[in-house]
Amino acid sequence: MAAPDPAALDVLRNRFARALAGVTAPGTAAPDPTPYADHLLARWQEPQRRYHTLAHLTAVLDHVDVLAEHARDVDVVRLAAWFHDAVYLPDRSENEERSARLAERALPEAGVTAEKTAEVARLVRLTVTHAPAGDDRDGQVLCDADLAVLASPPSAYAAYTAAVRAEYHFVPSDAFRAGRAAILRQLLGLPALFHTPYGRREWEATARRNLTGELEMLSLPDTPDV
């Protein structure tokens, strides 16, 4: 994997600092946000990641910006985006819970109130199911931003599926195809993939086409792993 562009890392540090400032009460003597940003950036660059990388983090933050008007507290959502896959091991099932606990430890040290820390952690845990309540505007924004990759153009969607497969390289091909197909069928069975008005209008149809096409590909005869 190529080393990240230092300028891109600086942009992300600034985005984290702005989100943190947005949830900190005026006059709060908060510590320097840079060490907190750098700790998270290091996590997002861990070698086991192929899809859940800095590119995914950046994409989710960008999609949160697109959906900002639908959020109640968009800076809380931005911080949840930073933490939502901060702990990520492909062979573990408790990544979201561990990521939420990381937020619960780090954010109070960074000057965030207990109430807003709890909300960030709640949003991180919500990414287990991507099923926010009808009145959960911040949850809807985070979940839609996280799943917006499903509505990518064909080449980008192909790159996404390849990265997911690479992340699960340790899973035998037959088992991966069966598990992935089950996930796709579950997603396609939902009444809606997206919850914000923008997501339903701009992403829903494309995402369903992509999921249907991938499911059809998975039904084709497999080639042996090399």
Domains of the chain, by residue range, sit at: 6-150, 151-218
Domain 6-150 fold: Hypothetical protein af1432 (1.10.3210)
Q: What is the pLDDT of residue 226?
A: 42
pLDDT by residue for the chain (226 residues), tens only, comes to 677 889 999 999 999 999 999 998 777 788 999 999 999 999 999 999 999 999 999 999 999 999 999 999 999 999 999 999 999 999 999 999 999 999 999 999 999 999 999 999 999 999 999 999 999 999 999 999 999 999 999 999 999 999 999 999 999 999 999 999 999 999 999 999 999 999 999 999 999 999 999 999 998 876 555 4
DSSP type of residue 5: P
**Per-residue pLDDT at 129:** 94
Pick from 177, 186, 180: which is nearest to 131 by CA? 186
Contact predicate 82/19, CB 8 Å: yes
Tell the residue number behind the tokens 């780090």, with chain if given: 106
User: What is the reported pLDDT for 224?
Assistant: 53
- What is the model's pTM? 0.95
Residue 143 near residue 122, CB atoms below 8 Å: no
